[in-house]
Structure 1
């Protein structure tokens, strides 16, 4: 009997050796279902959370003309089968002359259903949340359920995501899922899929062609030389065309407004690449959730173009952790984290995952999501209600000059210009509504009040106030 049973055992062993080996075997039951559906469940919860936070910010008058008002008008123009014009940056300004983001046209059908800035905020919430799906699936397949949860919540609550969700709407929301799927495909060796996911980035924003180029170089390095080099060339060419040809051609002034933000000497900019210290702090915030392991993966190269242009720029707004500029880096960081972790032994891997989770929890109160845990965001104050009542006095379909914080409240129903961007004698609005205290962009408090005084001298009269907000009408 021993002779007859031995070959059976050998054949079984031979069959086992032909099966693909995985770092963590997955069972046919619950674990497999979790791999398939848990990432989508987490994405759905994150999308609801993101949408709730951003829409409540809009209700509480915390959104702004730059940039929600701009993109609201641009997408509305697309929904009317027009070029993406807006009257925020200047009268009849084509958004394609500022940033090359034709992907925004994909949102136009949503405006046929619900024409509102909140539609953009909800769409952004979904796009950013979907990026968690490939990251969690890869972490689960290659490491395990615990890793998937740590990575999912690490990405979902990261400062790059938080500061994008809590700052209006931006076109780079489309880049988050594309980069996540591309990075995971690279990590898994699905090189054609990586190129397919990365290629549309050239239509999201002009600089992202350089990210496509890096994807191409990594594909070439992995052995698909022709595919990789063609992708790299296509990405670089796409970025060059957008920056040097398309944007200046669509800009009414005939140049790229952002070119001046990079100084005149690139060599000098490289000498201050990590100066001032805020740039180093940004790198720390980026890498800390991965316990700095992400830098050991080739996938981290996808972050290089974005980090370089931000740190080479002369505009301090690009250097730090505020605003939306780190959003597209978060999928890269966490994909690189997974790539390194899956090669580690289980014991140190658990320590790194625990450390990552602790860093995530520690950083949440310091990022944009901190406001989600305060009662002020979820309860409308009397002051806000009074301003909303003042806004309601402005008729629909009229012309209005509004301050930065109030413009998005009117952009869906009126023709609105931004105070300080379009001269009063050009816009000639029927109404003016503005804050008079703690005014920021673009004029500041003194400049805003001087502008209002000039308007009064040209025939506008005060017809209402709500705290520090004034409403003027043309005689």
Structure 2
């Protein structure tokens, strides 16, 4: 969605009292010349290359940590073929819109037409993350009045463990939310209230819970921007769309006609209010994750109202009964990173102009270069993302990857195939792919089984295929280095 343009925004910005105009508004950095944007564009291009390299190296060595890349590959392939985004990996005929409300995935269709591969999704996510790096860097430069400060904050954000873990976790729909949230935060910091509202609207197409984040943008417009009518509309729209998707749209496409994630709340589908409010604070992992999030910005984000944008995401994660959502792993923290680093920028600007906290000015100014050092230290010590490239094994696919590629070549295109984790995403790009053992109604044409690292795995693979699908008979057409391809006779 394009930014709103016109004289209205300019009138409102010029009406801000002089004492409230931040220092960036008078800086040469805000002149709008193309040369001013070059450092931030260059930084974004560097991160595009780094994120793409990291993701594609993992892809080439079949290092998928879950079936998610295969799932999103099937969804985009469905849209590209002008059909429903069916996720055969989750079950025959399972519609992606019955799991999460993410129709924004259809935006990737033109890229899929050019390069129909799961790797296309990985590069797309790298581009979206890199775009957000450029936005954060340029915004920091404008607010803090210095290009090199902007680049330091942008670098710290790009290296942040939240983004790095998301790249490790491969493609997810939140890749679209990351630049959108960066753009919303940018417009709020630059007091472009109407543009902030417009950039917030597409968030409801990324994931169902982000409607609540849209509502919080409306709250900020009311409290900070004094835009009561626009803010009220955004609050009603965000809350209403969330209720619509969870209560009607997702259940309509769901096989059981329900929203599956209500059961993830403490107490099941009908939790008590006290459980939602109290239980999260009793979990040590929640406190650790909170420390990790605020610590990378020196806890200065607490000084900015932008931090309110993180509350809806933290609320559903920390109140969930699924412990996977509580910690710093996977991709769940990626959407919080642009909020935290733009809140840091806002806090530094506020504190250096404040007369109330003179002792914090030096600390705030020092956090700009320190944030990059903290991010780099986390990157290497965890290690996550680019920090993992220090391992020589990350740069070579290895002989087992070559065997998996040969096995995939033994499976014809456009057939029904069940596969184990490694080759699943690559098969999903061209076949009707299922998780191994996930197609109970109809026996697949092929099985692609990788038993490497499978303790107690089957040794008689034809018998294993017959056990999975009674009445079907399979013969081995490829077998090498614990990778077997079987064809149904």
CA distance in 1, matches of 2:30, 2:166: 37
> SS of the residue aligned with 1:93?
coil
CA distance in 2, matches of 1:90, 1:407: 14
Moved more, 304-313 or 156-165: 156-165
* Structure 1 residues 467 and 294: CA distance shift in structure 2, 3 A: same
* 1:173-322 map, 5 Å: 173-222=175-224, 223-264=226-267, 265-266=271-272, 267-322=274-329
> SS of the residue aligned with 2:211?
helix
Task: Deviation per CA, 1:14-43: give whole Å up to 9, x if none.
Answer: xxx99x773585448999655322212111
User: 2:125 maps to what in 1?
Assistant: 124
User: 2:487 maps to what in 1?
Assistant: 473
1:322 is displaced (CA, Å) by: 1.2
* 1:43-442 map, 5 Å: 43-63=44-64, 66-143=67-144, 144-222=146-224, 223-264=226-267, 265-266=271-272, 267-345=274-352, 347-365=362-380, 366=382, 367-423=384-440, 426-439=441-454
Task: Deviation per CA, 1:48-104: give whole Å up to 9, x if none.
Answer: 111111122111101266211111111111111112112111112110000001111
1:465 is displaced (CA, Å) by: 2.9
1:178 is displaced (CA, Å) by: 0.8
1:400 and 1:429 in contact (8 A); partners too: yes
2:111 and 2:120 in contact (8 A); partners too: yes
CA distance in 2, matches of 1:176, 1:166: 16
CA distance in 2, matches of 1:282, 1:34: 39
CA distance in 2, matches of 1:447, 1:306: 39
CA distance in 2, matches of 1:449, 1:312: 43
1:290 and 1:337 in contact (8 A); partners too: yes
> SS of the residue aligned with 1:252?
coil
1:224 is displaced (CA, Å) by: 0.7
Aligned length: 452
CA distance in 2, matches of 1:231, 1:237: 10
CA distance in 1, matches of 2:162, 2:136: 16
1:463 and 1:471 in contact (8 A); partners too: yes
1:349 is displaced (CA, Å) by: 3.5
Higher-Rg member (1/2):
1
1:282 and 1:321 in contact (8 A); partners too: yes
> SS of the residue aligned with 2:67?
helix
* Structure 1 residues 435 and 452: CA distance shift in structure 2, 3 A: farther
CA distance in 2, matches of 1:470, 1:229: 59
> SS of the residue aligned with 1:124?
helix
CA distance in 1, matches of 2:199, 2:375: 28
> SS of the residue aligned with 1:428?
coil
CA distance in 2, matches of 1:82, 1:383: 35
CA distance in 1, matches of 2:430, 2:140: 46
* Structure 1 residues 449 and 82: CA distance shift in structure 2, 3 A: farther
CA RMSD of aligned residues (A): 2.5
CA distance in 1, matches of 2:32, 2:349: 18
1:163 and 1:369 in contact (8 A); partners too: no
* Structure 1 residues 450 and 385: CA distance shift in structure 2, 3 A: closer
1:212 and 1:231 in contact (8 A); partners too: yes
> SS of the residue aligned with 1:432?
strand
* Structure 1 residues 24 and 257: CA distance shift in structure 2, 3 A: closer
2:451 and 2:457 in contact (8 A); partners too: no
CA distance in 1, matches of 2:184, 2:117: 31
Moved more, 85-94 or 387-396: 387-396
> SS of the residue aligned with 1:427?
coil
Instruction: State the TM-score, normalizing by the size of structure 1.
Output: 0.89
1:383 and 1:466 in contact (8 A); partners too: no
1:75 and 1:105 in contact (8 A); partners too: yes
CA distance in 2, matches of 1:280, 1:199: 31
CA distance in 1, matches of 2:307, 2:460: 49
1:471 is displaced (CA, Å) by: 2.2
> SS of the residue aligned with 1:416?
strand
Task: Deviation per CA, 1:169-212: give whole Å up to 9, x if none.
Answer: 11111111111111121122211111111111011110000000
1:289 and 1:357 in contact (8 A); partners too: no
CA distance in 1, matches of 2:136, 2:189: 11
Instruction: State the TM-score, normalizing by the size of structure 2.
Output: 0.87
* Structure 1 residues 431 and 58: CA distance shift in structure 2, 3 A: same
CA distance in 1, matches of 2:237, 2:130: 28
* Structure 1 residues 252 and 452: CA distance shift in structure 2, 3 A: farther
> SS of the residue aligned with 1:473?
strand
